[in-house]
Amino acid sequence: MKRFFFIILVVLIPLGKAFCQKAPATYGKVPLEDLKMITYGSDTTAPAVVLCDYGIFDKEHFDFIRLLRIKILRKEGFPYADAKYLTMSNPSIRAMIYNLDGEEIIKEKLSGSSIYIKMLTSDTYETSFAMPNVNVGSVIDIEFKYNGLPYIWNFQRLIPVRHSELIIPESDYIDISKNFFGYVPLTVKERDRWVATNVPAFKPEPYIDSPENYMTKLEIEIRKVSYLGYIRSLSTSWESINGLLLTNTSFPAESTSSLCLSPMVKELQESGLKGESLLRAAFERVKEMKFNGEDRLLVSKSGLCSKLKLGAGNSADVNMALIQVLNKLGFKTYPIVLSTRDNGIISQYSPSLNKLNYVLVSIHDENGLRLLDATEEYMPCTILPDRCINGNGRLVHTEISQWVPLVVSGKDDKSISYDLKFEDDMTLSGIITVDAVDYAAYDIRKAYAKFNSKEEYSRSLEKANPGLTIEEMSATGMEDLYAPLQILYRVKLDGLTSLIDNEIYLKPMLYEAVTENPFTVAERLYPVSYSRKVESKVNLRLALKEGMKAEVVPFSSAGKTRNGSIAYSYAVNAASDSIEVNYRFSINSLTVPQDQYKELREIYNMIVKKHSEPIIIKTL
C-alpha cells in the first residue's frame, strides 16, 4: 500500500546531508571478549543476550539499515538464532555466525539458499532463516537493508539487551508518528535518536494480554508525504485509515460477491431458512474454507476463489468470504479491524495501519452489533476466539467509522458433578457429569475431535488424571455446536483416599482442586487480563457406608475483589449418611487493575488452602 509512495520519495526528495553518528558496532567485527563471554553479567541466567541492535534511516535514499548481534549463552537460547523479521519492503540480508575453537575464530556465512522471504502484503515482508552450526557461545551478526522504515523498534525483549539504538533523522517531507511504550527508561531520548543500554529481559507475568503492550519499544507510522505540492495522507487519522482500506482491492468488504461463492449463496437461499437459522447455516458453510493459522488484515494475493478452491485460507480470506455471503443473503454486515492479543493493543489516539492484523465480521441484531468469526471449526457464531478479545476494534464502512468493544456475552461456563460412593476396598465409584456451554463446550469439542473414538478420548483423560478409570462414557450435544454439551462418565477412582488407623483422609475437590496460585510475586506492574469470563462450578455428593462418620470437615469460605470482578465460594456439609461439597469460581471482568492485585492473589491463596484441606472420615 505504501510501497508506491516510497518509490516516489526516492525520486522526488533531494539528497541532503547524512546523519553523522558513530555506530556502536560494525558488521563482521566481533570483539574477542564477546566471543569468550560465558554468562552475561547483568543476568547470569539469560539463555542469550542481544549485544547490539543498531538501526539508522538513510533519508537520502529512503533506506533503513539494521545490525543485530546476538550471543547464545545456553541451549535454551538456540531459538533466538532462528527468528522471523518483518520489514516494509523486500530486504537485502547478510549474516555470519562466529564460534570460538580454542583461540581460533571460526566464521561461517549464512547461505542465500537458507534465507526465506515471504510477501505478506504489498508493504510487509516476512524474512526467516536458520543459522548454521549454532552452539553455546556462538555470536550471530545479521545486517538488514531495505526501503522504508521499521514498524516497531524493540528496545526490550524476552532476553537482555546490552545496547539498542535507533536513529531516524528528521525530514521536511515525511511526517512520521513515533509512539513510545514501556516501563524501562531510555539512556538517550532525542528528537531523532533513541538509545537504551543494559535493558533487563522482560519477565512475563501470568495473565497479561500481551508482552507487546508492556515491553519498551517505539512504534513507527508514516502519516503523510508532502513535496512540491504532492501531498498524500496515509495514517493521519482513523478515518483516513478507513478510506485506505476501503480502496484496497485486498480488503473486499464492500465489493460484489465473488462468483465462486454463488453456488453456496444459492443453496442457502433455497434452503427456506430465515433469521438466526440462516445466519448459522451460512456461518457453518463458510467454514468449508479452513483457517490456515495465519492472522491477516487483507485477503491472500491469489484471491478468495483460489483459497475457497484450495479449501484453506488466512483469517481475512475466511471472514471476507463470510461478509460477502451474508451480504448476498440480505444481512447488513460491517468489517471490524483489530489487533490480536499477541500483537498488542491498538490506541484510539495514535492511528496506525501497521498495527492492524485481523478482521472480524459484525451484523446488527436486536441487541446491537454482533461480532462473528468463522475461523474456528468447533466454535459457534455466538463467541469469538480468545486471540480477538483485545480492547476495541474499528468498524470500517463508507458511512460509519467507529470503535467497537471486542467482547461477547458467552462465558467459559462449566459445571462438574461427582455422585460417588465408597467401595469395600476404599476406592470410589459412581457417575461424573460434565455440563458445558460456550467456551467450555468449545474446548471440549476441540479436544474430543483429536481422537478417533470416545474410548481413545477416555484413555487420554485417564492418563491425565492418575487413579481414574472410565468404564463408560456417553455424550449429548457433541456434534451440535449450538446445543448445551453434557458428558456422563461411569468411573472408579483409586488412590484418592488414605487410610490411617481407622480414619479416611480425602481431599474432596478430587481432580478439580486448584493446587497452585498462578500469582506468585508480591507486587505486580501490569493489570491482570483474562480473555474469557468464567463460571465454574463443582459439586460432590459422597455417600457414606454404614459405620462411617464425617469427623472433620473444612470450614466454609468465600471471597471476592472489591468490585466483584473475581469471586469464589466453598462449602462442605456433612450429614449422617453423606457429604456434600459445593465450589464456585467466577471471573466477572476481563481486567483486574494493579491496585486490586493483592486482593486477587489472596483469593487464589485461600482457594489453594481450602482445596488442600482433607475431610476426615472415621470408620467405626
When pLDDT is cut at 50, 70 and 90, the band that residue 259 belongs to is confident
Average pLDDT over residues 230-241: 70
Domain boundaries for CATH 2.60.120.1130 within the chain: 412-619
Distance CA 161, CA 154 (A): 10
Looking at 142-253, list the stretches that DSSP marks H as alpha helix, in order from N- to C-terminal side: 238-246
When pLDDT is cut at 50, 70 and 90, the band that residue 227 belongs to is low
Distance CA 92, CA 224 (A): 26
Identify the pLDDT of residue 223.
78
Distance CA 481, CA 376 (A): 11
> Rounded to the nearest 5°, which phi and psi values hold at 317?
-55, -50
Distance CA 553, CA 558 (A): 16
Q: Which CATH architecture has domain 3-231?
A: Sandwich (2.60)
Give per-residue pLDDT as tens, 20-47: 568 999 999 999 999 999 999 999 999 9
State whether residue 77 is helix, strand or coil: helix
Give per-residue pLDDT as tens, 553-590: 999 999 999 999 999 999 999 999 999 999 999 999 99
Give per-residue pLDDT as tens, 281-330: 999 999 999 999 999 999 998 999 999 999 999 999 999 999 999 999 99
Task: Flag whether pLDDT at 140 surpasses 70.
Answer: yes
When pLDDT is cut at 50, 70 and 90, the band that residue 18 belongs to is very low
What is the bridge-based pairing of β-strands 534-543 and 412-422? parallel
Q: Please classify residue 173 by burial: count the beta carbons closer than 10 Å to its beta carbon, then call 0-12 exposed, 13-18 middle and 19+ buried.
A: middle
Give per-residue pLDDT as tens, 475-518: 999 999 999 999 999 999 999 999 998 999 999 999 999 999 99
pTM of the entire predicted model: 0.88
Task: Flag whether pLDDT at 104 surpasses 50.
Answer: yes
Distance CA 341, CA 296 (A): 13
Helix (H) or strand (E) holding 4: helix 3-12
Name the residue with higher pLDDT: 183 or 123.
183
Identify the pLDDT of residue 128.
92
When pLDDT is cut at 50, 70 and 90, the band that residue 13 belongs to is very low
Distance CA 426, CA 497 (A): 7
Residues in Cβ contact with 300 at an 8 Å cutoff, skipping those fewer than 6 apart: 306, 307, 313, 314, 316, 317
- 494 and 420 in contact (C-beta within 8 Å)? no
Identify the pLDDT of residue 540.
98
Give per-residue pLDDT as tens, 503-561: 999 999 999 999 999 999 999 988 999 999 999 999 999 999 999 999 999 999 999 99
Average pLDDT over the chain, rounded to an integer? 91
- 336 and 284 in contact (C-beta within 8 Å)? no
CA distances from 267 to 15, 140, 272, 282 (A): 61, 57, 10, 10
Average pLDDT over residues 370-398: 96
Identify the pLDDT of residue 37.
96
- 541 and 420 in contact (C-beta within 8 Å)? yes
Identify the pLDDT of residue 171.
82
Domain boundaries for CATH 3.10.620 within the chain: 239-405
When pLDDT is cut at 50, 70 and 90, the band that residue 19 belongs to is low
- 273 and 255 in contact (C-beta within 8 Å)? no
Identify the pLDDT of residue 354.
86
What pairs with residue 488 in β-bridges? Answer: 433, 474
Distance CA 544, CA 426 (A): 11
Average pLDDT over residues 382-398: 96
Distance CA 500, CA 503 (A): 5
Percent of the chain with pLDDT over 90: 77
* Pairs from 380-384 (Cβ < 8 Å, separation ≥ 24): 380/280, 380/442, 380/481, 380/482, 381/279, 381/280, 381/283, 382/408, 382/409, 382/410, 382/438, 382/482, 383/408, 383/410, 383/438, 383/439, 383/442, 384/360, 384/408
What pairs with residue 220 in β-bridges? Answer: 178
Cβ density class 303-334: b for 16+ within 10 Å, e for less: bbeebbeeebbbbbbbbbbbbbbbbbbebebb
Task: Flag whether pLDDT at 6 surpasses 90.
Answer: no
Distance CA 389, CA 384 (A): 7
Name which CATH class applies to 412-619.
Answer: mainly beta
Q: Is 477 left (phi over 0), alpha (psi -120 to 50) or beta?
A: left
When pLDDT is cut at 50, 70 and 90, the band that residue 17 belongs to is very low
Helix (H) or strand (E) holding 310: helix 304-310
Residues in Cβ contact with 242 at an 8 Å cutoff, skipping those fewer than 6 apart: 394, 396, 397, 401
Q: Is 600 left (phi over 0), alpha (psi -120 to 50) or beta?
A: alpha
Percent of the chain with pLDDT over 70: 95
When pLDDT is cut at 50, 70 and 90, the band that residue 228 belongs to is very low
- 221 and 181 in contact (C-beta within 8 Å)? no
Task: Flag whether pLDDT at 365 surpasses 90.
Answer: no
* Pairs from 30-35 (Cβ < 8 Å, separation ≥ 24): 30/69, 30/98, 30/105, 30/139, 30/141, 32/105, 34/69, 34/71, 34/139, 35/98, 35/100, 35/105, 35/137, 35/139
- 535 and 607 in contact (C-beta within 8 Å)? no
Average pLDDT over residues 611-617: 97
- 483 and 477 in contact (C-beta within 8 Å)? yes
Cα 131 to the chain's mean position, in Å? 27
When pLDDT is cut at 50, 70 and 90, the band that residue 5 belongs to is very low
In this structure, which topology does domain 239-405 adopt according to CATH?
A: C8orf32 fold (3.10.620)
